[in-house]
Amino acid sequence: MRIVSSRIVGLSMICVLLASAYASAQSATASYAPVTQDMLVDPPESDWLMWRRTYNHWGHSPLDQINGSNVAGLRLAWAWTMEAGKQETTPLVHDGIMFLVQSCDFVEALDVRDGSRIWEYRRPRVDHAAIQACANRNGALYDDKLIIGTHDAFLVALNALTGAVEWEEQVGDWTIGHHYSGGPQVINGRVVAGMSGCYQINSGCWISAHDVETGDEVWRRHTIPQPGEFGYDTWGDVPDERRRGGSAWNAPSYDPELNLIYIGVGVPIPWGSVQRGTGDGDVLYTNSTLALDADTGEIAWYFQHLPNDEWDLDHPFARLLVETAVAPNPDVVEWLNTSVTPGERRKVVTGIPGKTGIIWTLDAATGDFLWARSTNYQNVVVDVDAESRRVILNPAIKQAEIGEPVFVCPTATGGINWQAVAYHPSTNALYAPTNNTCMNLTLNQLQPTIGAHHGSARIMPAQRPDGDDLVGQFMAVDVATGETRWVHRQRAGIGGSVLTTNGGLVFVTDDDRRFRAFDAETGDILWEQILNSSAGGYPVSYMVDDVQYVAIAAGGGVNYRRYTREIRQPSGGNMLFVFRLP
Domain map of the chain by residue range? Answer: 49-59+73-580
Q: In this model, does residue 329 exceed pLDDT 90?
A: yes
Output the pLDDT for position 306: 98
Q: Do 434 and 415 meet the contact criterion of CB atoms below 8 Å apart?
A: yes
How does DSSP assign 12-71, residue by residue?
HHHHHHHHHHHHHHHHHHHT---B-HHHHHS--TT-B-STTSSTT---EE---SS-TTTG
pLDDT tens column, 49-72: 999 999 999 999 999 999 999 999
The fraction of the chain above a pLDDT of 90, given in percent, is 85
198 versus 225: which is more confidently predicted?
225
The Cα 115–Cα 125 span in angstroms is 25
Question: What percentage of the chain reaches a pLDDT higher than 70?
Answer: 93
Compare 199 and 298 and report the one with higher pLDDT: 298
Nearest partner of 262 among 388, 171, 190, 367, judged by Cα: 367
What is the per-residue pLDDT for 127? 87
What was the pLDDT predicted at 453? Answer: 63
Does the pLDDT at position 1 exceed 80? no
What pLDDT is stored for residue 13 in this prediction? 43
- Residue-by-residue DSSP string for 115-181: --EEEEEEPPPP----TTTT-----EEEBTEEEEE-TTSEEEEEETTT--EEEEEE-S-GGGT-B--
pLDDT mean over 419-448: 94
Least confident residue range of 195-199, 228-232, 245-249, 536-540: 195-199
Q: Which pLDDT value is given to residue 529? A: 98
Q: Contact at 8 Å (CB) between 320 and 56?
A: yes
- As a whole number, mean pLDDT of residues 326-353 equals 97
| Confidence (pLDDT) at 192 | 98
Place 6 in a pLDDT band, splitting at 50, 70 and 90: very low
pLDDT at 219 over 70: yes
Cα(49)–Cα(523) distance, rounded to whole angstroms?
Answer: 28
Q: Quick one: pLDDT band at residue 493, thresholds 50, 70, 90?
A: very high
Q: Is the pLDDT of residue 517 over 50?
A: yes
What digits encode the pLDDT tens for the residues 376-428? 999 999 999 999 999 999 999 998 789 999 999 999 999 999 999 999 999 99
pLDDT at residue 399 in the model: 82
Considering only 115-129, 214-228, 283-297, which range has the smallest mean pLDDT?
115-129
49-59+73-580 classified as CATH 2.140.10.10:
yes
Let me know: does 530 contact 492? Beta carbons within 8 Å: no
pLDDT for res 28: 73
3-state secondary structure 506-532: EEEECCCCEEEEEECCCCCEEEEEECC
Of 183-187, 195-199, 421-425, 469-473, where does mean pLDDT reach its minimum? 195-199
| Distance, CA of 426 to CA of 489 (rounded, Å) | 24
Q: At 4, is the pLDDT very low, low, confident or very high (cuts 50, 70, 90)?
A: very low
pLDDT at 23 exceeding the cut of 80: no
* Cβ–Cβ under 8 Å, residues 318 and 349: no
Residue-wise pLDDT tens digits, 100-158? 999 999 999 999 999 999 999 999 999 887 767 788 899 999 999 999 999 999 999 99
Task: Please state, rounded to an integer, the average pLDDT across all residues of the chain.
Answer: 93
